[in-house]
Structure 1
């Protein structure tokens, strides 16, 4: 069992770190399945959230120029997202988390299938500050209610005709800040016990190296290829969430 503990944590760190370095999101989707084999759900979420933030900081450095050049664009998503987190937590008392996650998964699958296999991608080019804020708010609400904060923002930014760096300059810091808030809440609940700390000691170095590999691949992608990758990633996110809830 001890050997399995190390193997599953290492595999999760490799998968989650690489996809975060590549796209700026999706760490939980690729890592959580491995972590849940050897950790209880609270510990697994605590570890993947911490690793997501840590490896995400590397991604932030890659697009630091784009973040500085468009701060208001990021804040349109981020501030409503932070407002949405406590709303999502409050909704947990009134809605079924599993049902909500299945509904989000179905939306991601439909979206990914429709846009992911089209010959040409949409290009929603006009400025949409109100929609951006609503998307950020929904992301925060879903993060608090069902731990899927990046799903709707990823859908929205993937159809904007921004460069890959501009897209990442919104998606990556949004996820880092939302997940940092999640870490604080989990710490308050005592999720970072001795087992979680041991898991972090194993996953952090592996995740950081894997993220660097993902960032290297990201730099080689064209803007259009990155948009298509992000759309297909939303499809995979939807399938992953659906499988985790149904089975």
Structure 2
């Protein structure tokens, strides 16, 4: 990696940490747009998993007083089952069509939700939560966006911003544990990956800290719009590459 690549790498780490601190998710969405141009896809995935454990762990620590284990465990259980299932299904299904379909649904949901007031709060039981977690994991295994569905489901419940993050961040942490174990088994964590991890770590932590500082100054409605905007960008990040591969 040359000097320009190094600067881009650490700036992306800073931005990824900031977005994670502000919203509780989407770090991978931010950094991958830059990292995939300067390091390998395997290194990118391994760093996102490694940093994801850190960002989600930090969020859990900061919001530990609001943790709702009754809501966390069903979503986490479904997610940990769904991720490897989604990875297996990926070998039988068209990744281009899947990403385009999921991306389109995310874009439509985000645009619709941004254009209208928040949903009326919903009460969701344990069995539906396990099913939501399963879909969350399936989408993560199929597209790499492991916390999207659980994040959306937390919005449906009408919770405060702290209550939402205190549920979907532990679920994301569980997802990153499964992903990290899988990548460790396949040998994705190399010496070079650990070197890159160390290079980006101070910048990621600085971004994470500053993002949480800003998070403390926004209200529930602004947080809702921030999450929806990131969901919109996540959907576009799936649609655009799918369209480009179709035209190739």
Deviation at 1:55, TM superposition (A): 1.9
Confirm or deny: 8 A CA contact 2:151 2:164 kept in the other structure.
Answer: no
- Runs of 4+ off more than 6 Å: none
Give, in angstroms, the shift of residue 225 of structure 1. 1.9
What is the rounded CA distance, in whole Å, between the counterparts of 1:61 and 1:188 in structure 2?
28
Q: Where does residue 46 of structure 1 map in the other structure?
A: 46
Choose 218-227 or 166-175, whichever is displaced more: 218-227
Aligned residue for 2:156, secondary structure, equals coil
Q: Superposition pairs for residues 184-195 of structure 1, below 5 Å?
A: 184-195=181-192
- Residues of 2 paired with 1:239 and 1:146: CA distance? 13
- 2:92 is matched with 94
Match of 1:233 in 2: 230
**Quick one: distance in 1 between partners of 2:95 and 2:58?**
32
TM-score normalised over the length of structure 1: 0.93
Match of 2:168 in 1: 171
Contact residue 159 and residue 227 of structure 1 kept, 8 A:
no
1:60 aligns with 2:60: yes
Query: Unaligned stretches of 5+ in structure 2?
Result: none
SS in 1 for 2:188: coil
Distance between the aligned counterparts of 1:245 and 1:34, measured in 2?
A: 18
Greater CA drift, 10-19 or 94-103: 94-103
The root-mean-square deviation of aligned C-alpha atoms, in Å, is 1.5
Deviations 1:177-201 (A, max 9, x none): 1012111111211112232122111
